[in-house]
Structure 1
Amino acid sequence: MNIKPHFKDLSMVRVALFGMAAIVSFTLLSSKESLAEEGVLLSQSTSGTTGAAKKIVVARVVGEPIYQQDIISAFRALPPRVRRAGLNRHYSSLLESVIVAKMLTLYGRRLKLENDPRVKRQLKRAEDALVRDVYLGDLVRKQITDKILRDEYKILAKRNEGIEEVRARHVLLQTESKAKEIINFINTGQNFAELAKKYSIGRTASRGGDLNYFKRDEMVKPFSDAAFALKVGQVTQKPVKSDFGWHVIKLEDRRKRKMPTFEKMRPMLRQKVGQKFSNQVVSDLLAQTKVQRFSFDGKTARAAPQESVSPPAAPKPSR
């Protein structure tokens, strides 16, 4: 049977295919805290229970149902920053992504591709990854206690409570001359946020250049120095140069940082403490496991590394 799917809206298909990567990468959420954290965003769009979500049909592909729960699972697979906008904001693209995934799966199964050796190899890799993650996760969770989380919270509170932070907007531009032009516009009374939406090349352009609150060390030094030197309501009268381009900055507010409550911080604390325990668990297991290491060509024996190598620090975002 020759199957030739037809689509009238190719642009929507591109969006759907792009979103499939998030669906394929979805993994089970293992902690109640993570589920509770996402519950606020999900509750903006769904009022039913998980059981109800498994019964509500949101689409059909060749008669095969797609359930509300499938959309929720796809939403949870999105990066945290994307999820902040809520499920309603992403529903259309998520729905199309799940529809495309279901369609391709159905057509593939018609060709009995589930029996293809390539599929079976991928399934074995996926199974190995899940076994690995569940095993390590179980070992780590056994060690995390409420006392450990509270102790970690006290350390973070001592380090962060009362630190000065500012809220600023910026317009990011490619040239100094364009930045000077924007400063002239502002000085003649034009709205900063509207100018940011129109001219900024930064990721915050759509929200008027708003960077929310940040500490001095959370931005690159030239930007932070300029922002923290301003008084509330002031705008930099000279363009500020950074590795990202030329900035025009407006200070919106200044305050002392207040720590969120322990309960609000609990998911992040579990992640932070869990990472520490994960490293320790892996080190302990390696110490008691017979492992032979060889060179890339397999001919020469290699000794175990003396120290674990930490990943390089991520660059500070320009936002």
Structure 2
Amino acid sequence: MKKTMNIKLKTLVAALAMSALLPTLTQAEDKTAPTAAKPLTPQTIVTINGDAVSDLEVLAFNALQGNQNKLDSQQAQVQLLNQLVNTTLLAQAARKEGIDKLPQVGAALKMARIQVLAEAKVNDYFAKHPVSDEEIKAAYDKKFTKEALQEYKVSHILVKEEQEAKDIISSLEKGEDFHKLAKVHSLDSSKDAGGELGWVGRNQVVKPFGDAMSSLEKGKYSKTPVKSQFGWHIILVEDVRAQEPPPLDQVKEQFRAQLQQQQLAKLVTEMRNQAKVEVAGAEKPAEKAAPAPTPPAK
């Protein structure tokens, strides 16, 4: 029996290699590119113990394997179809033995179906609501403002108490060296380097630090301590330079993906706001009291 099975599989592989699958599956790949949901006409590729498998199902199987390769060669197609045959035979055996009736298997099948449907909905939504070039350009301009492109060569001294920071500022006003004071007093890991942080942008540091840093002129230090969640800072801006933004074409797809994620988050939020979700065992939120009736006009 085993020898017969091997012969049948070898015969199948040979037949696949000699068939005209290449244009069929290549065209099917074009069918499955993200577009608005619409019915497609499947074409049978192979039949396994009476179970017909279409070109769309072959591509769905390929996607489930995590394969990103294009099926543009007979070798790749034969390899995929041979794997599909093996997997289908195992699935047929599972159904024959009633394994598909097990609760845990049913749960896994249900979740797999939900995942596929959710992905199909996302693809359909993006196809019907494409991100425009104008939206991408607006997001690009918003991110790469003149202020955002400024970089600062900055050093700082971090201490725990505000009074200590004021005392250090007094020492600076008397002419003491900023970097020497940082090595003595700073709690930050940059203390051994005299407080030097190198070149940083405003969005690379916490907001209070960034606000203070961007307000200082080259060669100036903060005259009052700057508070953040880390403690109290004295900040020195040693130099300022402007970065060149990356070309729009170079980051266009990154912005498209970000805007799509924002679209998706908004869509899911709207769905959740309209959905009735009940968690087993969780206490139901108290119902809001009905508004008091408006008293009749006198």
> Normalising by structure 2, what TM-score?
0.41
Larger Rg: 2
> Normalising by structure 1, what TM-score?
0.38
